[in-house]
Amino acid sequence: QKMAFHLVVNQTRLRSDVELGSFMSELSFRRYGVALQELGHVEQDDSVHFAVRRKRSLLIDNPAAKASRNIERLARRVLGQLLTSDTKESTQHPLPLEVPSYYHALGLSRGASDEDARRNYKRRREMIHEDSIATFSLFSKSELRLEQSRLDEAYDTLMDPIRRRAYDLSLFPDHEVVLEARPAPPLRDRAVVENELAREIGAEAEYSGALLRKVREAYGATLEEVAKHSKIAKTHLVAIEEERWNDLPAPVYVRGYVAEYAKFFGLDATHVQRTFMRRYQAAKV
């Protein structure tokens, strides 16, 4: 039998108090995998104190009080849930309990706008602030700093068009990521190039930086043309071709850059990405 957990925040005064319920619900699920359904809140109201002193029910003693209206609203929600619990399936889609993607970290969909990212970043920054009541006893100071750094990294990446493109290519390698229409420079006929490199770019090819450079040169493309079309910095393209591992950014970006490089020349992006990253990771060990 399923057990449902509900949450009510009492004696709210400020907007931050009202938001505490949603903060605690989200953090509870992320931390423990326990879903708390926020029912609402009860505002701080002196009428409650006076009703207790008179030993009378608040709803009878002062039905028009703020707290009375809050309690009535909560009661209706509880009753509504009881009446629909047997017929209504949960529509909640839980996030992974492991390290989430940048989109999950900010509570965004893939197509979210910059304004959505700014708004959610601000809200989550408040949620995991060191003075936030929602994080009390859930995270140690070191864990809280790690959560904050992950949130900052997610925000910085998704707000930068180039970094976001590279990240999307690494996260969704089988989907085309298009920011704007950009005409590709004229290249040599693909059939001619594939015939010349038939032995080297076959299904079992191990794509090194040198092989990627050979493909580019076979097509007659310059680094400047690739950089302009892909929006990848020329310095990163040089580092990929020359396998300057220490000059490359974090692996998540390298995967995206390599996939974009491969797509530019019509190569199997997934295969190129996998074999090149194998060399990258071996060199980093």
Taking only the tens place, the pLDDT of each residue in 208-251 is 999 999 888 887 889 998 888 888 889 999 999 999 999 988 88
Confidence of residue 173 (pLDDT cuts 50, 70, 90): low
Confidence of residue 152 (pLDDT cuts 50, 70, 90): very high
Contact 123, 108 (CB under 8 A): no
When comparing pLDDT for 191 and 105, which is higher?
105
Contact 134, 200 (CB under 8 A): no
pLDDT value for 185: 47
Confidence of residue 184 (pLDDT cuts 50, 70, 90): very low
pLDDT value for 86: 55
Q: For residue 205, give both structure tokens.
A: 């090819």
Contact 166, 179 (CB under 8 A): no
Residue ranges and CATH numbers for the domains of the chain are: 5-84 (no CATH), 102-159 (1.10.287.110), 190-284 (1.10.260.40)
